[in-house]
Structure 1
Amino acid sequence: MSNKIVVLFGGNSLEREISLKSGKSILNTLIKSGVNAIGIDPINFPLLYLKKYGFKKAFIALHGRGGEDGIIQGILEYLNIPYTGSGVLSSAITMNKFLTKIIWKIYGLPIIYPHLLLNKKDFIKKNYLIIEQKILKIKLPIIIKPNCNGSSLGILKINHIDDLFNALEKSFMYDNNILIEKYIKGTEYSIGILNNKILPPIKIGYENIFYDYQSKYYSNNTKYFCPSGLSKNKEKELENIILKAWKVLNCKIWGRIDVILDENKNFQLLEINTIPGMTSKSLYPIAAKKAGLSFYDLIMKILFSTK
């Protein structure tokens, strides 16, 4: 393969550490396969020079802001360099959890409701008691999460109203907007999508209160079940929800959607990830392997489906 490929990884988001691991896994696989691939960290390289250096395609392995939010995609569109994953608009929308949920709700898809978006300026300037009353309408316990962040960074569960103020302060360290929603007890599933087909769903078993950063990347006690143990009917229901949720946002090539099966046995969409992790602990390659795709096969399928 003579085309010169750039693997973009690292970046300056809070998910830099995971992106470096993902990017190196992808880059090493491409190089071992004889692909003319070079890894570039946007922190160290002016991306407008990509064309000048002869790159013909880009494999985006940047997680979080500056990678999944449409910015890199916009630069590559401007340079007329094909790239992996979703386009500018879909990337920008899906990075915004609140906006994604609004669109899903309009299309009749199941989301956790009610929810509330709180801005940092309002939190600082407005009467805190008014904010507290709005949040109390959701009814405790609640989950608060940075609106445009991934890897479960800054997500906290609040059981008592006295803990709310400090929790909001902590979460605002990660984003200027916080999504607040009812805490749902249930079983979480992660579903990969590859070229408009779902990969085998993965059931997630974790020890902590929810599937947080520690559970995802460092705990040895987090368990992944694939096959997921869902009945054929439930798996078909999940497939229909996932593919509709994917298509209404006009996402492309590859990604992952997380859901929870609540105590009433109803699926609720949690969030979408348009550039899933590709580390040794990442779920997307696990699901692909169950579908019969080696890591190499997976990388090649994604690369040859460049937008």
Structure 2
Amino acid sequence: MNTVSTIDVGALGKVGVLFGGRSAERDISLMSGAGVLAALRSRGVDAHPFDTGLRSLAELAGEGYDRVFIALHGRFGEDGSLQGALEQMGIAYTGSGVMASAIAMDKIATKMMWLQKGLPTPTYAEIEAGAELAPVLAQLGLPLIVKPPHEGSTIGITKVEQADAFQAAVDLAARFDDVVLAEQFITGREFTVAILGAGSGARALPICEIVAPQGNYDYQNKYFTDDVQYFCPAALDAALGAHMQRLALAAYRALGCEGWGRIDFMLREADQQPFLIEANTSPGMTGHSLVPMAARALGISYEDLCLEILAGARLKLQQGQGQ
């Protein structure tokens, strides 16, 4: 990817900033999109807003965009469906392609890919409607985490500390997904690693640590309070930090991600073992968001971060077919 100083803004053409959408994370996407739009315009980009929750793909095709910045989170924007439509329309887009987006959006598929590559992630179980929960408790123990595998921003997630609370947690997650993910709870510190680029050229940004009130990094604390503390760069032993960055890059590449993204970790308190939790292929770009925070730690402004991500927009499938 070109550095910001060598990016020809005029060559980027007419740019659409895709935001809003129809997922449970719509409100966050509206904030991300507003920030990205203002940032790109401040750098002289011919950028225009496009809310995919209010306007159709036919309208998108008719706008004449040369490329788009995807500032959508969750379903219908981060899950590969929109990426496939953009490939069909021939509009270059930011972030990962169809397959990587779809896999990363599915937390169960993500864990299967990581485990196949020998990467550390907490033990888990899939729970289908009507399944017996006792075997899952026996397998995972308590506490455990229950979550819908296709949602983000901690939507539908419950930490289960007592067996009699397990069913209610499953029922909550099942409101969002047909299959529920139950996962061994890792007691320790929470971190995230932002990544820019693709393939061998991808680079990990400084690690950020997240310290939430009572360890509760939920939707409200993520976006609407100032109660969460962030430390970036995180206070980590240099060797451990480098190991976590290597793991993040390996996790990112295992899914086929590109452009930009974020890999979330838990560091187990007992033995300082890092565990991969999930991947985000279209992370938040709000005032509380972690990728801009990591970029700032390297002296990269929010505006230049947005410009660098936009400059990397491309069609993945056509290039892969040599067209």
For Structure 1 versus Structure 2, the TM-score category normalised by the shorter chain is over 0.9
Conserved? CA contact 1:116–1:135, under 8 Å: no
Alpha-carbon distance, 1:65 to partner: 0.3
Q: What are the equivalent positions in structure 2 for 1:175-190 lying under 5 Å apart?
A: 175-190=177-192
- State the shift of 1:134 in Å: 2.9
Find the counterpart in structure 1 of residue 289 from structure 2.
282
Aligned 1:184-223 pairs, distance under 5 A: 184-195=186-197, 196-223=202-229
| Structure 1 counterpart of 2:53, one-letter code | I
1:165 CA drift (Å): 1.5
Between the aligned partners of 1:6 and 1:182, the Cα distance in structure 2 is: 41
**2:149 maps to what in 1?**
147
In 1: Cα distance, 2:214 partner to 2:108 partner: 24
Partner of 1:116: 125
Gaps of 5+ in 1: none
CA distance in 2: counterparts of 1:165 and 1:51, whole angstroms: 45
Cα drift, residue 53 of structure 1 = 2.1
The one-character-per-residue Cα deviations of 1:251-306 (angstroms, maximum 9, x if unpaired) are 00100000011021000000000001000010110100111111111011000011
Give the Cα–Cα distance (whole angstroms) in 2 for the partners of residues 155 and 134 of structure 1.
17
- Give, in whole Å, the separation in 1 of the partners of 2:247 and 2:125: 23
C-alpha distance in 2 between matches for 1:133 and 1:231: 38
Within 2, Cα distance between the matches of 1:17 and 1:289?
24
TM-score (norm 1): 0.94
The question of whether the paired residues in 2 share the 8 Å contact of 1:48 and 1:75 is answered with no
How far does residue 185 in structure 1 lie from its aligned partner after superposition? 0.5
Structure 1 residue 55 displacement after superposition: 0.8
Question: Match of 1:93?
Answer: 103
> What is the number of residues matched between the two proteins?
299
2-structure distance, mates of 1:193, 1:288: 10
State the alpha-carbon separation in 2 of the partners of residues 69 and 208 from structure 1: 31
- Structure 2: 5+ residue runs without aligned partners? 1-9, 315-323
Matched, 1:261 2:267: yes
* Counterpart residue number, 1:172: 174
Q: Distance in 2 between matches of 1:209 and 1:279?
A: 21
Cα deviation for residue 209 of structure 1 reads 3.8
- Residue by residue over 1:226-274, the C-alpha shift from the partner in whole angstroms, topping out at 9 and shown as x without a partner, is 1201111111111111111111111001000000110210000000000
Q: Quick check: 1:36 aligned with 2:46?
A: yes
Q: Post-superposition shift, 1:57? A: 0.4
- The equivalent residue for 2:66 is 56
Q: Structure 1 stretches (4+) deviating beyond 4 angstroms? A: none
- TM-score, normalization: structure 2? 0.90
**Pairwise CA RMSD:** 1.2
For residue 144 of structure 2, what is the amino acid of its counterpart?
I
